[in-house]
Structure formats: C-alpha cells, structure tokens
Amino acid sequence: MNDPIKFNGASQTMTVLQRLGVTDIFGYPGGAIMPMYDAIYSSPIKHYLCRHEQGAAFAAVGYARASGKVGVCVATSGPGATNLITGLADAMADSVPVVAITGQVPTRAMGTDGFQEVDIISLSLACTKHSFQIRDVNEIPECIEQAFEIAASGRPGPVLIDIPKDVQVAQPDSILELIDNLPKNLDASKEKSDIKNQELLSIEPQIQRAVQLISNANQPVIYVGGGVGLANAVQDFRQLLENSQFPCVATLKGLGAVDGNHPNYLGMLGMHGTEAANLAIQESDLLIVLGARFDDRATGKLAEFAPNAKVIHMDIDPAEVNKRRLADVAIVSDLKNTLPMLNQSLLQQFDKPTMPELQKWQSTCHQRRNKKYDYNEDAKKGIFAPRLLELLSDSISKDHSRAVHVTTDVGQHQMWAAQHMRFSQPEQFITSAGLGTMGFGVPASIGAQISDPSGLNICVTGDGSFMMNIQELGTIKRYQIPIKIVLIDNSRLGLVRQWQQLFFEERYSETDLSDNPDFVALAKAFDIEARMINQKDRLEQSIEEMLAHEGPYLLHVKIDAFENVWPLVPPDTANDEMMISLQGE
C-alpha cells in the first residue's frame, strides 16, 4: 500500500484550486512540475492530458470562453512553459481569463542556466495581465487567489504562476490555518470590480452627453465588440437595441452579442465584413461603440474610417479609449453598470425611433442587409464553402436541447463562418480574433466540450490550421471527446494564397498544400469516425450524419483551391471601397 502523501506546496496548490471551484485542468507533465502531478494523482480535480502544451493552453481558453469560468493549464519549466506562450498571448489579445501554472527549476539553480531553465516571468510579461513567481511555500494560497481575481476581474486576461520545484515539495508552516482561511467555493467568474455608487454618479454627465448625441443623430450605428459578452451585458445591450432601433454591426469577437437573425443586424464590419455593415459605418453620423477597440481589421484605413461620425465609446479599459479614434464621449466603466444607465436615460428622454430621418436610414440599411449576391454557385462543380456553413448553421440552430459552441481556426474558413453562420449568444462562437492563431480550433473545442459535456461542439477548420495542432486528436481519442470537426480542405493556405493572387501578382510562394495526408485515414487511426465529401448533393445528408453520430467525427470537405472570400477590403483602403468579387467568379 502506498504511503500517504505529505501535505506540501504541490498538494496545497491543488487544494487551493479546488477551493476556488476548479474542476478541470489541462496540461502536460515534466520534471520541474512533477511534484504537482503527484498531487494531481490524488486530487478530485480532473486533469486532461493534452499532447502539446500549446494544445493545453488553447483548451483552457476554449473552456473559459464557453463557460465564463477561469481556464487552467499546467506545464513544466523550459520548453513546457514556452509552449504555453502562444496560448497566453491569444488569451491576452481576446481578453480571456486563464491561469497558467508552470514548474521551475529549484530556487538554488535559478540563474545558473540549469536544465530546462527559462526566465518565463520575463517572457510572459508581454502576454499576461500579471505574472507571479512563488519563492515561499506559505505564499501559495494568497498568490493563487490573487491570480484568479486578476484573471477574471476588469478586462479579463491570462495570469501566470511559476513555482520552483523545491517550493512545490516544501511544507507550509501552518497547514490548517492556511487552508481554513481560504474562501470556500469561490466563483472564479464572479465579477470583482463592482463600481461604487459615487463612481456611478460621476459617470452621469457622460451618459447625458451621450443621450444628447443620440438625440441629434440621423444616421447612427451601434458598433458592438467582444466586451459586451465579457461584461455579461448582452441583455442590457439588446435592450438598447430595442429601445433605439438603430442599425447594428459587430466585430469578429462581438458576433453573437446581437442575434444573427435580428432585423437591425447588418453583419460583421471590416476587412471581410458585409457590404451593408461597412457602408453603414462609413455613412454614419454617430457610432455607439460598446466594448470594441477599433481594431485595424475592423476599421480598414483608419484616417478614412467613419469620416463624418461622432463617437460614443464605452469600455472598461481606459487604455483602449482614444487610442485609435478620439471619442466625443468616453465612458470608461463596466458595461454591466453603464448600459442600464444609458437605457434608462434613453427611455426618459429619447423619442426619435419614429422620426422620418431615422426611418429613412433604417430603410436604407435594411435594403442593403437583404441584398443578395450571385456568386455563381450553381455553376460551381464542387462544394461551395459558404453554402456548407449556412446548412450547418441551419442544422445546429434547430437543436434547442443543449448548448452549442462553434470554434474555428484562422483563415478563409474562419471568415466564411463569421459571414455565413448565425449565432444567438457570444459564447457560441469561439475563434482566435485578436492574435489570429492557427491551430486554435481543435484544442479550443476540446476545452469547450469539457466545460459542458452535454453540449454540442463543432470545430470548423482548414487543412493548414488543422495540421498545426493535429496531435490533439490523441486527446480526443483518449477521452472520447465527442467534438465534430468540419475540415474545409482546399489544399492551400487559402487566405495567404488569396492575397498572393490579388496583391502579389499570383506569385504563389509556399501556399501549396496538395501533399496533405489522407485526413480520413488519419482520423480513423485515432478511432475517430470520418468521411470525405466533394459533391454538393451530399452536403445535407453528410451534415446530418455527423451531427447524429454520438462520438467524435471528422467531416472532410474538399473545395476548389482558388475559391475566394468576398467581400474584401484591400489593404490601406477605406471600408466602403471593398471588392465584391473578381470578374468571372
């Protein structure tokens, strides 16, 4: 019989995580984190062995984005820790609450270039909200609690905790006191940054100025970003939309904040945004910007973005206000607090939804929204990716018995999904928006599935991105994680190839992936059911078969290598100068 495990820094860490409400973590073991893995062996927290530390980080991101809780990932020192960096950078760019715990060489060896020693604190500074290195075992409980609070509060983001190996095996001075003083069952997603009443009162003048701008506007547009979902302010935002009846556009990360079928929703704006969204922005006289940061992919040529519009900018992060576009009214606060104030003031003072100027503007936007483009789909011999994704979206929208999450990788398939799928909540669409990380989709879908085992999780990926973290098929196999993978295969790095075609004189440098493996055979090697289709008359049946399958499934869809994503705003161009298609397409 094994001897009982001594209570040390590693087991203390697991106890603290349990007290903080953590039930699932993702990671990969190694020498410097081995004491913690010994503690994991006896912990009720479920550990999921990913096949690469980057996969573990992305799984934690997917878990956090689907559940609203803090995602947790674990890795060893040196290369284990550095392999987390891309995932932390992704979480930082998209404001995702993640806590990463890394092992470190013993304190006596730090600074000696020991085996697998890396100064992960310095490396992580640019891609985390905060980083801790614990040198005293007695600091573990407070440090971990602070890490969770920092990750989840304000504008969420990743936090790293580095624990040297000797600290993991050290025994704390007072076990009972340290553990009993911890808050029990702390909800890591609970809002920690409630604004005091006097602070809300200080915002009242800006609210009144915003209402005045709204009252004077004839062509207003609501511009919604990912901050609305992060603030749990979706219902408050939707009340604003109903109160005002203004046209609305969304960023890539803002998709789902407004129901994709809402009559005033014009679609995504920006480089691959809809014509209706981009024209509305460019012609607007007022932008009401909620939880968005004027990202360059959204604005196009910044100097010509919404040239005649005044701006009301509401965001929790003061660093984002006036960074790229000066605001006429800036309201730096939590949207969960400020949107109800704006709604109340509008109901009391605003009576313009029936005014002729606004009705004319609404009519113009609705006509553009309903405009159909003929992309010559009937003449195409093979499968048209937008049609595939529309059919997939229609199918999953009928499933009201469980939560649905769609993850994507990065590239043409990502833009097609953003354009042609419809989402009713922000957490339904999980994509790498700010960092644009290939290899994100599969591990993020794994994390989303773990957060809600009864949910339906679909990963839309491309052949280039799929190969980036393909080893995570091993994770799917081990735990029989029932995600559905829709692999859109054009045997190219599609988005780069499209730019080479349009802007680099068709000099196709290193974008040919025609030597891809047999993806169906590869999936089946991991005990994942799979099939390949390349004929459009088999689309609906194939989607139904995939969704009906109880376990993991790969639907390998071959499309034309030279299919392009439209519309497209060329580089250094205003958003209303978008390309709709190439002649002949």
Least confidently predicted of 113-117, 166-170, 302-306, 327-331:
113-117
Copy the structure tokens of residue 92. 């930082």
Q: What mean pLDDT is predicted for residues 451-461? A: 97
Q: How far apart (Å, rounded) are the C-alpha atoms in residues 157 and 124?
A: 12
Please give the C-alpha separations between residue 357 and each of 209, 250, 312, 346, 352, in angstroms, as whole numbers.
Answer: 21, 23, 20, 18, 9
Percent of the chain at pLDDT exceeding 90: 86
Q: What mean pLDDT is predicted for residues 202-209? A: 92
Which contiguous run of DSSP H or E holds residue 356? helix 356-369
- For the whole model, what pTM was predicted? 0.94
- The count of other CB atoms within 10 Å of the CB of residue 437 is 25
Position 584 scores a pLDDT of 55
Q: What is the dihedral of CA 136, 142, 145, 150, to 10 degrees?
A: -90
Position 372 scores a pLDDT of 77
Residue ranges of the chain assigned to CATH 3.40.50.1220: 202-369
Confidence bin at 286 (pLDDT 50/70/90): very high
Position 199 scores a pLDDT of 60
Position 381 scores a pLDDT of 80
Position 2 scores a pLDDT of 40
Position 583 scores a pLDDT of 59
Residue ranges of the chain assigned to CATH 3.40.50.970: 9-180, 377-565
Position 353 scores a pLDDT of 60
Question: Is the pLDDT confidence value at 401 over 90?
Answer: no
CB–CB of 379/213 below 8 Å? no
Which contiguous run of DSSP H or E holds residue 242? helix 234-244
Q: Does domain 377-565 have CATH number 3.40.50.1260?
A: no
The angle at the Cα of 191, spanning 189 to 194, to the nearest 5 degrees, equals 175
CB–CB of 236/290 below 8 Å? no
Tens-digit pLDDT profile for residues 61-97: 999 999 999 999 999 999 999 999 999 999 999 999 9
Residue that wins the pLDDT comparison between 441 and 195: 441
Position 379 scores a pLDDT of 67
Confidence bin at 232 (pLDDT 50/70/90): very high
CB–CB of 498/518 below 8 Å? no
Position 519 scores a pLDDT of 98
CATH value of 202-369 in 3.30.830.10, 3.40.30.10, 3.40.50.1820, 3.40.50.1220: 3.40.50.1220
Q: What is the mean pLDDT of the chain?
A: 92
Tens-digit pLDDT profile for residues 473-502: 999 999 999 999 999 999 999 999 999 999
Tens-digit pLDDT profile for residues 26-61: 999 999 999 999 999 999 999 999 999 999 999 999
- Within 428-538, where are the H helices? 441-451, 463-466, 473-479, 494-503, 519-525
Confidence bin at 184 (pLDDT 50/70/90): very low
Position 4 scores a pLDDT of 42
Write down the CATH number for the domain with range 9-180. 3.40.50.970
Tens-digit pLDDT profile for residues 521-566: 999 999 999 999 999 999 999 999 999 999 999 999 999 999 999 9
Position 515 scores a pLDDT of 97
Copy the structure tokens of residue 194. 């409630």
